[in-house]
Amino acid sequence: MNIFYLSTYFFSLGIFIFFARTSFIMMLIALEFLIISATLLLVYFSLYVTHNPEGIVATFFIILIGAIKAALGLSFFIKFNSLKNEDQNLILEDI
């Protein structure tokens, strides 16, 4: 039953952060908390309620998609950051 409470805590934390709207990145982190809470509940109900391991397979794919999303976001950040630095170097070379 502790997993259920942990999932409820993550869900309420995600809702609170999302509606606080401190920044766009914090809103994305809040959405990640919501996804984590959903996957925890999926594992909990698949193992302890229905005794069916299909929920764990679905959770694996959800985590896999999250990892791919994080890798793409990191690559975009690195690429745009390097483009920004190149633009600043071009401006400095013109002076």
44, with CB counted inside 10 A (0-12, 13-18, 19+), is middle
d(CA 67, CA 7): 20
Question: Which residue stretches of the chain have pLDDT < 50?
Answer: none
pLDDT of residue 2: 83
Q: pLDDT tens digits for 41-68?
A: 888 888 887 887 787 888 888 888 888 8
pTM higher than 0.75, yes or no? Answer: no
How many other β-carbons are positioned within 10 Å of the β-carbon of residue 29?
Answer: 15
Alpha helices in 21-53, H assignment, sequence order? 24-44
Residue 16 near residue 36 (C-beta atoms within 8 A): no
